[in-house]
C-alpha cells in the first residue's frame, strides 16, 4: 500500500480541540466558530468535515496569489480562516503561489494579466511571508507551515501535466466557470490557454498536498469554490486510479473501487460594505497588510471609521473576540452609538493582530494627539503618518530666521481667503501651531520646528495644514 493509500485508512486519532490560554477554558469547534462569525458559505460535505475534524489533528491550507509585494485587506479573510484552524488545534498551511503566480488566476479579471518575471514573483512571495507569520504567530497553537507551490509545480514536465493531470479535466466543465465563460464570450478580451489552465494548477496543488503533506482541507473565498471543487475532484480521480492499480497488482477484484473520501473544501463569503461600496478601498487607495504600504495608524483609522453596521459584522470576521464579548459590545453600542466603543474595539483588536500591541498603542496615541491637537510628543515617523493625508506646502527654512507672519502664511496655506479673514481667525484664537494657541502678533521661527523640518497649523477643530521647511 503506497503512502496515499495508507493515509486513506489510518488517520491519527488525536482530539481536535485546543485550549486558548490558561485563563480561557473554552475549546474551539471550528465549524460552529466559523458559522457564528459569518465565515462559512460553501462546504463540500459539512457533516463529513465536522466528523473529520473531531477525529484527529488535521492539516488545512489556503493559497495566496503573489501579484504584489504585499496583500490587501481582502486577503485577510482566508488568513483569518487559517488562524481559526490553529485556534481549533489543527495545523494551518499557507501555500504561496510562486508557481501559479507565474500564470495568473483569471478569477475576477476582465482581461489578461500582465506576466511577471520569475524574479518579480519570488520577490513578492518573500515580501508577503511576514504577513502570515504576524497573524498566525500572534497566539499559541500548532506551528503553521509556509509552502511555495513553485517547489512542486516547476518539477512537472509538460507531458506529465497533460497525461497525468489534464486527462482528468473536462474542457466542457472548465468552460462553465464564470470567469472563463465571461472572457470567452467577449471577443475583445478573450483568454489565453495559459490562464485557461490555471484551474488545473490550483487543483494539482491540493492533490500534491494531499498525497505528500497529508493536507485534507482547502479553504478560500467563495470566488474560489470552483477551483476548490476541481481540486477535490482531481484527488478523487487520482485516488480511484491508484486504488485500481493497487487491486490489479494484488490480484484483487478491480471492478469495484471503494474508499473513504477524506478531502474537503470550505469557503467564506466575500466581505462587503453595508452601503454597497467596495471593501478595503479608501480615498487614498487600497488598505494593505504591510506597514510600508499602509501604516499602522492608517490601518487603525480604517477600522475606526467603519459604519455601525459594518463594525458589527467586521468585528466577528477580523478579531478573535468570543461570541459573548462581541454580542455584549454590539448591545452596548446600540444603547450608546456615539461612544463608538464597537469601532474602537475593532480597531484595537484588528491592528494588534496584524501589527502588534506596541504599534497599535502608537496608532491610538497618534489618533488622540491629532484629535486634541497636542502633536509635539509624536515621533517623526508617526507624525508623518498622521498627517499623510493632510494638505502640505513647502517653504524656505531661511525665512524663519527673521520670523514669518501668520496672516500671509494662512493665506498661502489656503487656511484663509483674505488678510481680513486671516486676522479674524487669529484674533478669535482659532489658530494653533503644533497644538499651541497663537495670536496675531506671533511670528514663526525655527523654535517652532518639529523634528527640525515641520510646523503643523490647525484652524478651528478639524482644519489642518502641514508646512515643511527646507
Write down the mean pLDDT value for the chain: 87
**Dist. CA 152–CA 149, nearest whole Å:** 6
**Helix, strand, coil % over all residues of the chain, rounded to 5:** 50, 15, 35
**Dist. CA 143–CA 94, nearest whole Å:** 11
**Dist. CA 233–CA 8, nearest whole Å:** 16
pLDDT on residue 179: 67
Phi-psi map region of 89: left, alpha, beta (phi>0 left; psi -120 to 50 alpha) = left
* 217 confidence band (pLDDT: 50, 70, 90): very high
Closest CA relative to residue 426, chosen from 457, 385, 398, 399: 457
Q: What is the pLDDT of residues 175-202, one digit of tens each?
A: 777 767 777 776 566 778 888 888 899 9
Domains along the sequence of the chain with CATH? 3-268 (3.40.50.620), 281-386 (1.10.240.10), 392-469 (3.10.290.10)
* 30 confidence band (pLDDT: 50, 70, 90): very high
Q: What is the pLDDT of residues 406-465, one digit of tens each?
A: 999 999 999 999 999 999 999 999 999 998 899 999 999 999 999 999 999 999 988 899
Handedness of CA 320, 324, 330, 336 (dihedral sign): negative
Q: What is the DSSP letter of 416?
A: -
**Dist. CA 222–CA 267, nearest whole Å:** 5
Residue 48, number of CB atoms within 10 A of its CB: 15
**Dist. CA 84–CA 440, nearest whole Å:** 59
- Mean pLDDT of the 294-317 span: 95
Q: What residues have CB less than 8 Å from 167, skipping those under 6 apart?
A: none
pLDDT on residue 401: 92
- Mean pLDDT of the 211-217 span: 96
pLDDT on residue 308: 96
Given a cut of 60, is residue 392 above it in pLDDT?
yes
pLDDT on residue 3: 35
What are the distances in angstroms from CA 165 to CA 201, 231, 237?
Answer: 9, 11, 10
Q: Whole-prediction pTM value?
A: 0.82
How deeply is 53 buried, as exposed, middle or buried, from its count of CB atoms within 10 A (0-12, 13-18, 19+)? buried
CA 280 to chain CA centroid, Å, is: 9
Phi-psi map region of 450: left, alpha, beta (phi>0 left; psi -120 to 50 alpha) = beta
pLDDT on residue 188: 64
Q: What is the pLDDT of residues 134-184, one digit of tens each?
A: 999 888 888 999 999 999 999 999 898 888 888 888 887 877 777 677 777
Q: What is the DSSP letter of 72?
A: B
Closest CA relative to residue 181, chosen from 198, 169, 196: 196
Give the DSSP per-residue string, 191-203. Answer: --HHHHTHHHHHH
Phi-psi map region of 403: left, alpha, beta (phi>0 left; psi -120 to 50 alpha) = left
Q: What is the pLDDT of residues 237-264, one digit of tens each?
A: 999 888 888 888 888 887 777 777 899 9
pLDDT on residue 411: 93
pLDDT on residue 109: 58
CA 293 to chain CA centroid, Å, is: 13
C-alpha cell at 348: 484595537
Q: What residues have CB less than 8 Å from 89, skipping those under 6 apart?
A: 15, 16, 17, 18, 27, 28, 57, 141, 142
How deeply is 347 buried, as exposed, middle or buried, from its count of CB atoms within 10 A (0-12, 13-18, 19+)? buried
Mean pLDDT lowest for which of 21-35, 88-102, 304-318?
21-35
Query: How many angstroms separate the most distant Cα atoms in the chain?
Result: 102
Q: Coil, helix or strand for 459?
A: strand
Element (H, E) at 31: helix 30-36
Amino acid at each position: 500500500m503506497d503512502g496515499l493509500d495508507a493515509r486513506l485508512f489510518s488517520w491519527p486519532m488525536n482530539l481536535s480541540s485546543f485550549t486558548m490560554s490558561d485563563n480561557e477554558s473554552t475549546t474551539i469547534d471550528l465549524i460552529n466558530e466559523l458559522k457564528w462569525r459569518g465565515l462559512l458559505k460553501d462546504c463540500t460535505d459539512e457533516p463529513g468535515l465536522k466528523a473529520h475534524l473531531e477525529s484527529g489533528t488535521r492539516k488545512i491550507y489556503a493559497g495566496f496569489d503573489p501579484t504584489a509585494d504585499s496583500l490587501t485587506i481582502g486577503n485577510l479573510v482566508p488568513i483569518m480562516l487559517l488562524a481559526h484552524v490553529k485556534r481549533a488545534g489543527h495545523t494551518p498551511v499557507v501555500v504561496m503561489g510562486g508557481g501559479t503566480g507565474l500564470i495568473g488566476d483569471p478569477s475576477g479579471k476582465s482581461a489578461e494579466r500582465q506576466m511577471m518575471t520569475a524574479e518579480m514573483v519570488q520577490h513578492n512571495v518573500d515580501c508577503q511571508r511576514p504577513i502570515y507569520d504576524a497573524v498566525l504567530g500572534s497566539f499559541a497553537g500548532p506551528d503553521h507551515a509556509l509552502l511555495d507551490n513553485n517547489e512542486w509545480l516547476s518539477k512537472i514536465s509538460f507531458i506529465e501535466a497533460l497525461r497525468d493531470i489534464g486527462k482528468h479535466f473536462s474542457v466542457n466543465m472548465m468552460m462553465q466557470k464564470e470567469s472563463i465563460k465571461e472572457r470567452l464570450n467577449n471577443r475583445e478580451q478573450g483568454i489565453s490557454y495559459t490562464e485557461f489552465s490555471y484551474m488545473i494548477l490550483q487543483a494539482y496543488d491540493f492533490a500534491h498536498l494531499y498525497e505528500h503533506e497529508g493536507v485534507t482541507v482547502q479553504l478560500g473565498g467563495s470566488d474560489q469554490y470552483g477551483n476548490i471543487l476541481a481540486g477535490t475532484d482531481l484527488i478523487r480521480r487520482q485516488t480511484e486510479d491508484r486504488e485500481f492499480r493497487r487491486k490489479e497488482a494484488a490480484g484483487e477484484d478491480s471492478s469495484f473501487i471503494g474508499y473513504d473520501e477524506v478531502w474537503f473544501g470550505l469557503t467564506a463569503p466575500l466581505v462587503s460594505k453595508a452601503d454597497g461600496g467596495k471593501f478595503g478601498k479608501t480615498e487614498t487607495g487600497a488598505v494593505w497588510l504591510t506597514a510600508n504600504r499602509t501604516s499602522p495608524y492608517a490601518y487603525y483609522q480604517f477600522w475606526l471609521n467603519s459604519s455601525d453596521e459594518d463594525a458589527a459584522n467586521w468585528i466577528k470576521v477580523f478579531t478573535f473576540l468570543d461570541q459573548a464579548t462581541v454580542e455584549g459590545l454590539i448591545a452596548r453600542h446600540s444603547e450608546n452609538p456615539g461612544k463608538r466603543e464597537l469601532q474602537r474595539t475593532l480597531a484595537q483588536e484588528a491592528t494588534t493582530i496584524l501589527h502588534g500591541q506596541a504599534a497599535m498603542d502608537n496608532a491610538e496615541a497618534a489618533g488622540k494627539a491629532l484629535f486634541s491637537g497636542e502633536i509635539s510628543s509624536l515621533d517623526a515617523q508617526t507624525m508623518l503618518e498622521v498627517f499623510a493625508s493632510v494638505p502640505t506646502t513647502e517653504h524656505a527654512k531661511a525665512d524663519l530666521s527673521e520670523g514669518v507672519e501668520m496672516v500671509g502664511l494662512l493665506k498661502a496655506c489656503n487656511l484663509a481667503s483674505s488678510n481680513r479673514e486671516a486676522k479674524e481667525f487669529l484674533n478669535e484664537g482659532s489658530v494653533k501651531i503644533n497644538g499651541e494657541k497663537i495670536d496675531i502678533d506671533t511670528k514663526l521661527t525655527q523654535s517652532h520646528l518639529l523634528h527640525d523640518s515641520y510646523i503643523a497649523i490647525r484652524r478651528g477643530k478639524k482644519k489642518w495644514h502641514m508646512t515643511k521647511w527646507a
